[in-house]
Structure 1
């Protein structure tokens, strides 16, 4: 089963979701991409995932154009707030899904508050992606 997780910058939320989904099932082929890929991962996203034993430091931030000619079982968008528009994926897809999250990289305030936002969003991604995996992907 092939899954593409799509966002705008492909540096934070989509990378965390990619890490979680792969940790749930090693047999899934999971990729992530962005419509305006930053080319690098958000260091705080890498840190909060590492804290729970998931290493995403080797992931790459790729443009969605890299994946347009492939067939996908699932394309999942993870954009969140009202100021963000989710990218549309025009490739060959069986299931298009949106599971939105706030972007913790936009958090402002103290270092403690910013990190708490990364932890909150990480935990939300884990919970919602695990539920989606159990209901729609496991054993299929």
Structure 2
């Protein structure tokens, strides 16, 4: 197994799903994974319900911010081993050609920011996305990365995106 894998989570606004995925993987990956997040059309703010949920689970949240994926097009940017889209809007969109030819996969998760209604409905949408991410990241971390070639790894990481908590 490689010492550290770099992972970029992408979604449209980079306000909830990708932000939570970044925080979760940085904690759950125990130093073997370093995660970042970005968006195609960043909102500029992190969803307050997502931030609150991260704090409730004692997950890193202080350095998180909504940003455009162009921030990772500089020569100083990390080389990504994995690029995972969480948003259907972004999955088919043309993206920068980041160096490294990382494994790309899509894990469709509904955008909690598109849920309108009372506070309870908005919080529940964030909690639902958080549960899916926690489950999928747990499965992702259990993959025997060194046993797969690039194509097989792509298939396995893509398969993780269809997993749902039992």
Is contact 1:5–1:78 with CA below 8 Å preserved after alignment?
yes
Q: Which runs of 5+ in 1 are unaligned?
A: none
Q: How do residues 66-85 of structure 1 correspond to structure 2 at under 5 angstroms? A: 66-69=71-74, 70=77, 71-80=79-88, 84-85=89-90
1:41 match: 46
Number of equivalenced pairs: 136
Q: Give the Å deviation of 1:137.
A: 5.3
What is aligned with 1:59? Answer: 64
Q: Which has the higher strand share?
A: 1
Tell me, yes or no, if the aligned pair for 2:16 and 2:126 is still in contact at 8 Å. Answer: no
After the TM superposition, which residues 1-140 of structure 1 pair with which residues of structure 2 at under 5 Å, given as runs? 1-27=5-31, 28-69=33-74, 70=77, 71-80=79-88, 84-86=89-91, 87-89=93-95, 90-92=97-99, 93-135=101-143
Return structure 1 stretches of 4+ with deviation > 6 angstroms.
none
Which consecutive unaligned segments of at least 5 residues does structure 2 have? 149-166
Match of 1:109, SS state, is coil
Q: Counterpart of 2:151?
A: none
Matches of 1:38 and 1:31, distance apart in 2 = 16
Q: Structure 2: how far apart are the matches of 1:38 and 1:102?
A: 16
Superposition TM-score, scaled by structure 1 size: 0.86
Q: Any conservation in 2 of the 1:46–1:55 contact (CA below 8 Å)?
A: no
User: What is the distance in 1 between the residues matched to 2:70 and 2:40?
Assistant: 8
Instruction: Please tell me the root mean square deviation across aligned C-alpha atoms, in Å.
Output: 2.1
1:31, CA displacement in angstroms?
0.9
CA distance in 1, matches of 2:94, 2:86: 12
